[in-house]
Amino acid sequence: MRKQWTFYCGKLISIILLAIIFLGSSAYADEKPEIFVQMGHSGGVYSVAFSPDEKYAVSGSRDTTVKLWDVTSGKEIRTFTGHKGNVTSAVYSPDGNYVLSGSYDKTLKLWSVKSGRTIRTFDGHAGEVLSVDISSDGKYALSGSQDKTVKLWNIESGKRVIELKGHTDFVNSVALSLNGKYVISVGEDATINLWDIESQNKIRSFSGTKNSISSINLLSDGKQLIGSSGQFFSLFDLSSGMGIRRFKGHSAPISNVVLNSGSNHYALSSSLDEKLKLWDISSGEEVKTFSGHHGFVFSSELLRPNMTKPHKIAYTQEGA
């Protein structure tokens, strides 16, 4: 599926920030989002993430750059240059001082948010890096690659700590558990793998779908996860590997699913059907559909529910 998204990426991509006064109140169901558009990248945008204080966002693009944005004003603050291939994934460190990115150039890079300079490059994958994550203590970086491996890196030294092998195809998405003991990876081989970091053993492998799995998200309790595949996504129990609930409603493949931080009451899905959908995780019901994009929506992100004005950020192909 990732191969199809690469094909669909246009030369003109807009980052769209939508301020949605919603979450938990039906009073806002009919209100239209306030929208402003940023046209900073010159190629398709693959990844977007908020800073811990939720004042900023970073985006990784096909134009080989990472960009830093002010969420309130929508203005571009800084561009991080140094990758030699598409930037497929970008995340903030827990303290907000650094950004970690993964690229088609087979490397990870750690950037200083303040200066925009490259702090460290992690080199060791034999294939394009498709997903990255940072541990909750900020000491380790995680990466998944087209070389079918998952690698854990020491951020301070830049050295590889462990390499996990078990997928039979591209590793599309990776995540570290909040307690730092486990790694979750999903791939084109339609499997979700749960790994123990200390023993480096695969604890469990499960799927529930015949299609490739494009993204994963751990719920804040660390006991459940969401994985997307095709036109739906599912909620899984990590201890048993059993599917709990399936969320259907999109008419084209889902590109990404994100959770609102903290409570995890809601999930936001983005799709090639040009729509974003908000879901109630506990009931499985679709709460709202956001339309208005004129191109494939590749991903989205929700801010925490304790904000007075929760935001949603999405990126899409438009004008291609």
Give me the pLDDT at residue 277, please.
86
- CATH code assigned at 79: 2.130.10.10
190 within a domain of the structure (yes/no): yes
pLDDT at residue 39, as a whole number: 56
Q: Cα-flanking dihedrals φ and ψ of residue 214, to 5°?
A: -95, -30
Residue 197 covered by a domain: yes
Predicted confidence at residue 91, as pLDDT, reads: 94
pLDDT in tens, the chain (320 residues): 444 443 333 333 333 343 333 443 333 344 444 444 555 788 777 888 889 888 898 989 999 999 999 888 888 999 999 999 999 999 999 999 999 999 999 999 999 999 999 999 999 999 999 999 999 999 999 999 999 999 999 999 999 999 999 999 999 999 999 899 999 999 899 899 999 999 999 999 987 667 788 888 888 788 888 888 888 888 988 888 888 999 999 998 887 787 776 666 888 888 888 788 889 999 999 998 876 544 444 444 554 444 334 444 444 444 33
Domain membership flag for residue 312? yes
Does 232 reside within a domain?
Answer: yes
User: What's residue 99's pLDDT?
Assistant: 98
**281 falls within a domain:** no
Print the domain residue range for 105.
Answer: 2-258+269-276+291-317
**What pLDDT score does 28 carry?**
35
Pairing mode, strands 254-259 and 243-248: unpaired
User: d(Cα 92, Cα 51) in Å, to the nearest integer?
Assistant: 6
Q: How many domains does the chain have?
A: 1
Judge whether 283 lies within some domain: no
As a whole number of angstroms, the distance between CA 110 and CA 216 comes to 22
DSSP SS3 for 3: helix
Secondary structure string (H, E, C) spanning 139-200: CEEEEEECCCEEEEEECCCCCEEEEEECCCCCEEEEEECCCCCEEEEEECCCCEEEEECCCC
